Structure 1
């Protein structure tokens, strides 16, 4: 699940500051880039931050980004470590903490609480696939406990005596998705094709972040695109970029970064694969994609899909340390798209990878929150991934922070990495018919999982319904007010919380959740914007914002 899982968990606040300060001092010295790389590699190995192999490849992988940011003193060690490890370590990097987007001078229409459609009305079903993390080097029987950020690979050797090797269909022990798991999922969807659209919310490559090239990322993106075309050729797919599509991971330079570090190579791949080849997107999406990896398109009459590049808010994107203010003009662009949608009486689904609460830089997150507040009648669904877990975040009325007005749905991952079972999500939305409301919120959603342990034991992978949201939580609808009621109930109803906790890990629960754990998990559900202590304070419970 976590790109720097071992690194992040073992790195203390003081060690982080010393490490970043040391790099900064080296960069400002008269040493050559090659000499600095050698020194950093020796330190990484000696300090046992990672294995020798990961250190040697990883330092080279990240050097261009580190040099590009630190050489200009764009951020201090305190600011960088605060962004990586959270407020409890230091004040996070926030170069323009007061920057604001400009809302258009239009009056917000009266809030309309939608009414459920009549029984028997047509329903549109949407499948969300997220965090596939396809590992092309996955090898059944290989070492699943290799001590590196990702294992179960052809160059990880054999497992220790008496230790089971990597499972045929995947493995919970820090391993990503083998090809056969992905193909089995797509075959299953093809046989049970009762859906109309796929939302593909990012992270296609594996977690071998120390040894990836642009050609590797392009190849994986093509592989996933071709697999979807092979098994689901008639289904419309709307993708979003994840943080792992970049090289190195999390690196998405805004347009002001040009030359060898520019992100054009990835955006051109999106255009080639998703517009020219797959024809999932219209040609008029090209300019927006090339500007910043985002786009808008009409999915059905009255329903517009907006795909955001959430890496422009990501705390792990060091290029933002140069200037965080509305990278690639994405939020101002979003306002214009939503205003046109409101004028045309369209409803909008927003897709992205990184959820806006928790793991986004504060100013970006708070500005996005303002936009959702203004266009609450127009935005009828928000769909994210990144966490590998199954959860959600509630947005409230900014003035009172008491009226829930929107929910972003965070679907689980296809990969079992992160100690979860693989999953996909199906949403039911009021259908495309005369008089449809494109219901303000989702009618219901169902999560399907593959029990990896069972699949490996029987060699018979079966995707099973884990739960339906309405039934599991006793909801009359999936309106924001109902989700808010669920959150309130979780605090006092321990049986309900344990049910949520089970679904959070997609029925692969390996540890209990004590009082502190429960408090911080419930707190996170109220956070549609990061670093917001209005309703509760995650730092009080020791929650850190980790880079995934």
Structure 2
């Protein structure tokens, strides 16, 4: 098989790669292999960089150039994979294809001290077919050089039994028997958060020792504000201890200093995470409320530059996040997923059966160890999670099955998702999901699905299509709810059984997903958390209660703790006429989305909730930034979202 691929590439590339001075005269593949062994690395790198650079001098389109680059890179990856990172990094910088820093982070080889992805890029090249859907997909999403390719028309329906009449109906909820579940998401702990550092930064991650504003502070009036830059504040036994105030403006370069509990342009300092968790614990104590369990929908690591994101930082962030949850929530079991930031390198995840499993198995093992140590998973469940890192399931004491999926499988930035991309399930994740759902359906068991990245914008089209097909098949009888994080906004997405704008009717609404708000304020949101009241018979959500803090009020309040307040409940907040005994299902959210589409008032209400009334909420009566909300809320897949947006004249022009 490998020899066949190499021979095919040789025939395709003999007029380009094999015309280079280093490899000229190689008339057969074996001749080339023999000759290449005689050249030192520098000469091979120079030859391949020259070939890549020469593409821009011909009359080919950007798309053709991108695909040819992949083909050239593939030939190198099969022969000398270790040279792919230096070749593409040098080509990228010398042609100014991207900024120098982006060239480095994208193509330089992986190290334990940086989250560069060049080694993963080389792995992808060795597996993919550049001249197929693989190359078109990569060149569209990764380099914006090709048109978006048509999503393959494949199906997974052969993997499940026919849908019986009873499966088209959700079970009826009980009268008044409910319990409570906590949902938290997107901590993004900024471990190097530095009180007094720059928040109005133009260089590096804000609020860090590396953050800077490239402009002078001349005539800037930040010094007139009484900023709460209290250094070394901390919690002890849930009590807040305020540290000393520092004179941040002794540093003449500071425009707007980082205060104790965070900023809208920064990720969350650990003290903000602890404040959030303390507010949850205090709420439970004050209101005599208990949570049966909690779900955490991913992202513990911050958004710092890949050059500053190390393996140790990734692991430390994950350990601290779960340690703090355990410390504050006590015996409440937490069922979790990994976010795109919770991997090293960032956003990457390989299939288990093609030689790259050892890159990523550490994370599944670490998570399984932590979750078992904290009592969230039993020994058998922990072993299952450890050995199946694209997804695992767990059954709660009440009988609800929770299926946790690793969304890097469908993430647009994951290099391993771009080979054999026309096949519906290279990771085996959908097969696992379907097997779990078929089993649950056979015994009338209800299921929750939790994942990090929703399928409507940053997912690859084919996995999104497959997931939507699975959800439609097993809803509303078996799948009770779906929960995501990632966007940092309080949102939802509806799945309709009939595609297209005309299909967005109340009769066609078959499922929906909750998208949780974030603890991190990055970017321009107020920190927030929520809990659900759950029907004990059907595990449907009867209501959701959202709590938040106005972060801007902590900037000038003498360093006091944030004040956590009730924001709104999902049932009452949108003022929809809805039966008290009915769960908040796809029909309910269709009614909400319809109001948002028809009314500026409701669109504004949605934006207020999405960003938790932050100072940066747009004015929907004046701003076009609200125009795509309906498309987002009523599109369950990336193809549906793109098609919807294309029909909006101002959005597509």
Same fold (TM over 0.5): yes
CA distance in 2, matches of 1:457, 1:46: 48
1:493 to 599, 603, 618: 599
1:91 to 142, 148, 151: 148
Alpha-carbon contact 2:517-2:529 (below 8 Å) kept: yes
CA distance in 2, matches of 1:297, 1:442: 19
| CA apart distance, 1:323 | 2.6
Alpha-carbon contact 1:101-1:367 (below 8 Å) kept: no
| CA RMSD of superposed structures (Å) | 3.2
**Matching of residues 502-517 of structure 1 within 5 Å:** 502-508=608-614, 509-513=616-620, 517=625
Q: 1:284: which partner in 2?
A: 380
Residues 516-544 of structure 1: per-residue CA shift (max 9 Å, x gap): 5444210111111220279x622344899
Number of aligned residues: 518
CA distance in 1, matches of 2:82, 2:310: 19
Residues 179-221 of structure 1: per-residue CA shift (max 9 Å, x gap): 1000111111122222222110011101123333333322221
| CA apart distance, 1:34 | 6.1
Secondary structure in 2 matching 1:248: coil
State the TM-score, normalized to the length of structure 2.
Answer: 0.72
- The 3 A distance-change label for structure 1 pair 493 and 511 is closer
Residues 227-274 of structure 1: per-residue CA shift (max 9 Å, x gap): 111111211100011111122211011112324763211111122111
CA distance in 1, matches of 2:177, 2:414: 42
- The 3 A distance-change label for structure 1 pair 293 and 397 is same
Q: 1:310: which partner in 2?
A: 407
Alpha-carbon contact 2:364-2:385 (below 8 Å) kept: no
CA distance in 1, matches of 2:363, 2:282: 33
| CA apart distance, 1:56 | 4.9
Q: 2:646: which partner in 1?
A: 539
Q: 1:4: which partner in 2?
A: none
Alpha-carbon contact 1:352-1:383 (below 8 Å) kept: yes
User: Which structure would you say has the larger RCO, counting Cα contacts within 8 Å and 6 or more residues apart?
Assistant: 1
1:423 to 520, 523, 528: 528
- The 3 A distance-change label for structure 1 pair 453 and 55 is farther
Q: 1:201: which partner in 2?
A: 297
> After the TM superposition, which of the residue ranges 207-216 and 263-272 deviates more from structure 2?
207-216
Alpha-carbon contact 1:83-1:93 (below 8 Å) kept: no
| CA apart distance, 1:484 | 0.7
1:40 to 66, 74, 89: 89
Q: Unaligned stretches of 5+ in structure 1?
A: 1-13
Alpha-carbon contact 1:426-1:447 (below 8 Å) kept: yes
Alpha-carbon contact 2:402-2:447 (below 8 Å) kept: yes
CA distance in 2, matches of 1:543, 1:327: 38
> After the TM superposition, which of the residue ranges 513-522 and 421-430 deviates more from structure 2?
513-522
Residues 351-371 of structure 1: per-residue CA shift (max 9 Å, x gap): 110112333222222221122
- The 3 A distance-change label for structure 1 pair 23 and 129 is same
CA distance in 2, matches of 1:398, 1:302: 32
**Matching of residues 45-56 of structure 1 within 5 Å:** 47=96, 49=98, 56=104
- The 3 A distance-change label for structure 1 pair 309 and 501 is same
Secondary structure in 1 matching 2:388: helix
Q: 2:334: which partner in 1?
A: 237
CA distance in 2, matches of 1:48, 1:56: 11
Q: 1:126: which partner in 2?
A: 181
Q: 1:334: which partner in 2?
A: 433
**Matching of residues 458-537 of structure 1 within 5 Å:** 458=557, 459=559, 460-475=561-576, 476=578, 477=582, 478-508=584-614, 509-513=616-620, 517-532=625-640, 537=644
Secondary structure in 1 matching 2:341: helix
Residues 100-145 of structure 1: per-residue CA shift (max 9 Å, x gap): 3633224434233555543xx2421111111111111111111223
1:164 to 256, 263, 268: 256
CA distance in 1, matches of 2:544, 2:575: 13
- The 3 A distance-change label for structure 1 pair 444 and 329 is same
Structure whose CA Rg is larger: 2
State the TM-score, normalized to the length of structure 1.
Answer: 0.85
CA distance in 1, matches of 2:282, 2:623: 43
Residues 344-389 of structure 1: per-residue CA shift (max 9 Å, x gap): 2221111110112333222222221122122211111111011111
**Matching of residues 327-366 of structure 1 within 5 Å:** 327-366=426-465
CA distance in 2, matches of 1:299, 1:32: 46
1:370 to 445, 448, 469: 469
CA distance in 2, matches of 1:48, 1:487: 41
Secondary structure in 1 matching 2:631: helix
- The 3 A distance-change label for structure 1 pair 32 and 409 is closer
Residues 46-74 of structure 1: per-residue CA shift (max 9 Å, x gap): 8495575x765663411111111134554
- The 3 A distance-change label for structure 1 pair 258 and 98 is same
CA distance in 2, matches of 1:97, 1:248: 32
CA distance in 1, matches of 2:95, 2:205: 21
Alpha-carbon contact 1:82-1:93 (below 8 Å) kept: no
| CA apart distance, 1:461 | 0.4
Q: 1:397: which partner in 2?
A: 497
Alpha-carbon contact 1:131-1:385 (below 8 Å) kept: yes
CA distance in 1, matches of 2:258, 2:64: 37
Alpha-carbon contact 2:347-2:414 (below 8 Å) kept: yes
| CA apart distance, 1:172 | 1.1
Residues 280-300 of structure 1: per-residue CA shift (max 9 Å, x gap): 113333235423331111113
